[in-house]
Amino acid sequence: MRITQEADYALRAIYYLSTLDAGARASANVIAKEQNIPLRFLLKLLQKLRDAGLVESFMGVNGGYALSKQPKDISFLDVIEAIDGPIYINRCLYDPEECNNLGVEYCSIHKALHQVQEKLKKDLSSINFQHILDENGSKEV
């Protein structure tokens, strides 16, 4: 019942980009150092964030990465699902064929888990990076 370390890194990479001026770029090297993320691992996960449309990348000298949306329009759910894939809290909800009980439709347990899952996704989608910026800004030491 965990998000992967990779998704945790991704949240922090997006957070770091959120702290920059709108449209500003940061190289993977800088993000890696600032957020203490292994560089090569970061490079790989940034591809996923790009494929998901959350960041844009720029090659060459002065290249790097920038958010492709405003911080307020990027949720935790967006980032986590970009990295880990869609959230399914159990196997049956992911692939009903694998349900070795009666099937999701007829199984009260799986129905109940489904409701929990949807609440979880709603909670994660209600947090965006503007919230995080605001919280940090007001508590700056």
- Return residues touching a copy of itself (CB under 8 A): 1-3, 5, 7-8, 11-12, 15, 35-37, 76, 80, 84, 87-92, 94, 100-101, 108-109, 111-113, 116, 119-120, 123-124, 127, 131-132, 135-136
Of 121, 59, 57, nearest in space to 85 by CA: 121
Identified binder of DNA from the candidate list 24, 33, 44, 116, rule CB under 7 A: 44
From the list DNA, a copy of itself, none, partner contacted by residue 138 (C-beta under 5 to 8 A by kind): none
Q: Hey, what amino acid is at 36?
A: N
The label of the residue with tokens 């489904």 reads 114
From the list a copy of itself, DNA, none, partner contacted by residue 67 (C-beta under 5 to 8 A by kind): none
From the list DNA, a copy of itself, none, partner contacted by residue 47 (C-beta under 5 to 8 A by kind): DNA
Exposed/middle/buried for residue 115 (C-beta within 10 Å: 0-12, 13-18, 19+): exposed
Minimum CB distance to DNA smaller for 29 or for 136: 29
Q: Is 63 in the site for DNA (CB under 7 A)?
A: yes
Residue list 87-106, contact with DNA (CB under 7 A)? 91
CA distance 117 to 115: 5
Per CB under 7 A, the segment of 53-61, 109-117, 118-126, 128-136 that binds DNA is 53-61
Around Cβ 93, how many Cβ atoms within 10 Å?
A: 20
Helix 76-84 and helix 5-18, axial crossing angle in degrees, nearest 10: 140
Q: Beta-strand (E) ranges in the chain?
A: 55-58, 64-67
Q: Hey, what amino acid is at 133?
A: L
Residues that bind DNA (CB under 7 A): 4-6, 9, 27-29, 38-41, 43-44, 46-47, 50, 57-65, 84, 91
